Amino acid sequence: MTRETPEVSAGSMADVAFLLLIFFLVTTTMDVDSGIVRKLPPPLPKDMEKPPPVKKRNIYSVLINSNDMLLINGEVGSLEDLRTNVKEFLTPHVPDDPNFPQTKEIDVDFIGKYQKSKGIVSMQNDRGTSYKTYIHVQNELAAAVRELRDELAKQYFGMDFKTLLETNKDKAKSIQKAIPMSISEAEPANFGGNK
């Protein structure tokens, strides 16, 4: 007498697989990449062949080589002094002082006439620059602008820029107009130097 092997019911296997799929979809966390917040300038008009020239005194050049060393306006610089030096560069000075950027008088809501700096911080890194140094330099440049905005907001409105941004967007926009985020980033290049 031969015994038959009982069949395994596979009808509920699809249900089990579906429930496992739902379980893993619900419980799995997805990593979200974060980046650096930058507002890009609008594109140049199509009829403009090239951007207008910028005077050398209006540019603060920051280069980072593959050894994570800084070259600031043609001289070796340090990360520790970067924020202070950028703040001094972007602070509006006497218009005819050739050691600082030119200024332009603008009308700013809630402030009135204001001498806005025409200074631009130009940053460029080597393709071999470490991500840590790149981010650190970006943070120092943004912190310099943030501190200048804080100082101006406290001077005119009695509070720091972040608080002003949360409480009165119109006044915060006037601070942004007076002190724009004038940081330009060029495409990475190969400056030389090996790690």
pLDDT at 85 over 90: yes
Q: What mean pLDDT is predicted for residues 10-23?
A: 84
Instruction: Determine the distance from the C-alpha atom of residue 117 to the mean position of all C-alpha atoms in its chain, rounded to a whole number.
Output: 19
Backbone angles phi, psi at 19, to 5 degrees: -65, -40
Given a contact cutoff of 8 angstroms between Cβ atoms, the answer to whether 171 and 164 are in contact is: yes
For residue 104 the two structure tokens come to 């332009």
Average pLDDT over the chain, rounded to an integer: 86
pTM summary value: 0.73
Q: What mean pLDDT is predicted for residues 136-165?
A: 94
Residue 54 pLDDT level (bands cut at 50, 70, 90): confident
Cα R_g (the chain), whole angstroms: 27
Q: Is 169 exposed, middle or buried (0-12, 13-18, 19+ CB in 10 A)?
A: exposed
What CA–CA distance (Å, rounded) separates 184 from 195?
26
CB atoms within 10 A of CB 30: 4
Residue 4 pLDDT level (bands cut at 50, 70, 90): confident
pLDDT at 18 over 80: yes
Given a contact cutoff of 8 angstroms between Cβ atoms, the answer to whether 103 and 118 are in contact is: yes
pLDDT at 109 over 90: yes
Task: Give pLDDT, residue 195.
Answer: 46
Backbone angles phi, psi at 121, to 5 degrees: -95, 120
Given a contact cutoff of 8 angstroms between Cβ atoms, the answer to whether 70 and 124 are in contact is: no
pLDDT at 194 over 70: no
Range in 36-45, 119-128, 174-183 with the lowest mean pLDDT: 36-45
pLDDT at 151 over 80: yes
